[in-house]
Amino acid sequence: MMLDFGQYFDPNLYQSFQMWIAFGVIAIALIVYATDRISFVTSSLGILALLLLVFQLLPVIGSDGQNLLGPKYLLAGFANPALIAILALLVIGEGLSRTGVLDRVAGLIFSLGRGSAFLAPVLALVFVLIVSGFLNNTPVVVIFIPVIQVLANQLGVPSSRWMMSLSFASILGGMITLIGSSTNLLVSGLLKDLGHAGFGFFDFTIPGIVVASVGFVYVALIAPRLTPERQRPELDPGQGGKQFIAQISVAQGSPFDGLRPRGGFFPDLTDLTIKEIRRGSKSFTPPFDNDLSLIQDDLLVIAATRKALTDTLGTAAGRLAPVGAADNGENGERQKRRRDTEQVIIEAMIRPSSRLVGMSLEMMGFRHRSDVVVLGIQRRSRIISRQMSDFRLAPGDILLLQGQQRDIDALRNDPDLLLIQWSTSSLPAVQHARRAGFIFLGVIATASTGVLPIVTAAIVGAVLMIASGVLNVRQAARAIDRTIVMLIATALALGAAMQATGGDAFLAELFLQAASGVSPAVALSAFFLLVAILANLISAKATAVLFTPISIGVAQGMGVDPIPFAVAVIFASNCGFATPVAYQTNLLVMGPGNYRFLDFTRTGVPLVIVVWATFSLFAPWYYGL
């Protein structure tokens, strides 16, 4: 049974009351999101529950007698095609991230720009800008955070100088294409719901390139000068400076094959140090003869940080094999299973009472007993200089282990080892990199040419990532961000409440009254600035959903094409530069950059002004306003 108090009141008064109730719920949502004291997931659930309760008691009755804000309509956001497309693209991005596709490109950029304190970071930011136009920017930023850290370390500058620019470049890149940001897809989907044609893949690419290019000049030249230079101690176990001793065998065609020393050492190997080269019964130690070159089956005893060792194994999997993993009698079936399953890296300490104390890796038979590979050994008191197979374990030694998650889990109750749980990380499945790249390019090609709708192309791409073995179902599910799901679904419900109660028309009329007598170009500029300010106080997605119907009302009230105003919503909602809570990538770089809240305000507000001014000058000319 549906209650309808409207039958007892004046219809106009009752509708006005419903509208202000909707505004009240929206205000509560904006305050909760802006203060960030409650998680987005919890806040969104609470707001959805409030909407369902309020409009069950105060229903908005449509022409067919149905409640326009009943559960069917308020919860429809969970099945919104734009949300489904966003989630599918997140799965595709996870596939690219897990296979190390972006890591390879990042390594290439690092090598091209090495030695230049300006060129190296700028090349990295250019790549981030471009890729963010076609891929969710969160995994891009996650991958490039350590790249920027390494670059900063090599150049002798704090990583805080460039970390904020990394986030800003990814946000600017998201303005270039329809799939560059989830905000873009949301606005396009709402346009269709409102009876207008949605955006095509490249419909706002030209103004997007102009805005992003001008903004990038600020990001590359000015922002690094405004950000504070704060040193931050490395807390990430994967980035730490402690050295592990490991050994790898050189495979034919690998990056090590044919490598020659210069001045007695291998300067090309900046991230690791060769301690010994074993070739059959011969052994070579530094300084190495310059006539010596590495050949197939050479055994290298190296010292490297965990990150350098993981990167070396990850980017060269199948060509560089850690001794004890694919060598020493391991059969082909076991090698194939190890390559085709998800591998994780974890550190484990030898307990003081361990039975392994005094034993070597060969004696303990660890690999055959646990199906887990020992990649490296680290002893806090000194650097190990002998071959791993000859080394005797001591209490407190740290082993760097690689294996399947189930095999690692089986070691938790091992009385000889203490697993360091926080050190767990995944090893890139580079053997699937090519197929992941082809799937991604196929999604881009079919979506951009119109062969398939974006949501269809994205879902097919996500399914192919799973069907082809790039990801398993658990990994794909892990890529789906529940915060994004709840935030978008709630924002769509708030937008539905505003539309059904006439709130969008009311706000559009207010804006038209305030902008009476001005040209459409001036109104477009003022509208952009208003949306950009609110986007920095609340989330970009919520701002986009709330202002899309308002943009249509404003454009129709002025008698102009609504497309420029809808594009203004997209670009302005993406202007989350002035606060760390405005955009997820800002939060990602806040820790590594050791930033404070006002650091974003000082550096981000000028960029908001730059983007606003560029759009205000270019868009009216481009759209003929």
Q: What is the pLDDT of residues 251-271, one digit of tens each?
A: 776 777 778 887 777 776 766
Bond before 207 cis per omega within 30 degrees: no
Last residue of a domain, one of 74, 96, 120: 74
436, 412: one domain: no
Q: Once rounded to an integer, what is the mean pLDDT over residues 541-564?
A: 85
DSSP codes, 61-123: B-TTS-BTTSHHHHTGGGG-HHHHHHHHHHHHHHHHHHTTHHHHHHHHHHHHHTT-TTHHHHH
94, 194: one domain: yes
Residue 323 within a domain? no
DSSP codes, 315-332: HTTTTEEETTTT-TT--H
Residue of higher predicted confidence among 39 and 501: 501
The count of structural domains within the chain is: 3
91, 68: one domain: no
348, 398: one domain: yes
Q: What is the pLDDT of residues 276-313, one digit of tens each?
A: 787 877 778 777 887 788 887 787 777 777 666 666 66
How many Å apart are CA 317 and CA 2, to the nearest integer? Answer: 63
Q: What is the pLDDT of residues 119-133, one digit of tens each?
A: 778 888 888 898 888
Which three-class secondary structure state does DSSP give residue 408? helix
Which three-class secondary structure state does DSSP give residue 34? helix
> Is there a contact between 468 and 432 (Cβ–Cβ < 8 Å)?
yes
Enclosing domain of residue 168: 83-233+432-482
Q: Once rounded to an integer, what is the mean pLDDT over residues 39-67?
A: 84
Residue 413 within a domain? yes
120, 223: one domain: yes
* Per-residue confidence (pLDDT) for residue 332, from 0 to 100: 47
Q: Tell me the pLDDT band of 328, cut-offs 50, 70 and 90.
A: very low
Last residue of a domain, one of 388, 412, 427: 427
Last residue of a domain, one of 74, 93, 127: 74
Q: Once rounded to an integer, what is the mean pLDDT over residues 172-186?
A: 86
* Per-residue confidence (pLDDT) for residue 234, from 0 to 100: 42
Paired with 522 in beta bridges are: none
Residue 275 within a domain? no
CATH code, domain with 348 = 3.30.70.1450
* Per-residue confidence (pLDDT) for residue 571, from 0 to 100: 94
Residue 308 within a domain? no
Residue 310 within a domain? no
How many Å apart are CA 235 and CA 130, to the nearest integer? Answer: 30
Global pTM reads 0.67
107, 66: one domain: no
Q: Which among 38-52, 58-72, 297-311, 350-364 has the top mean pLDDT?
A: 38-52
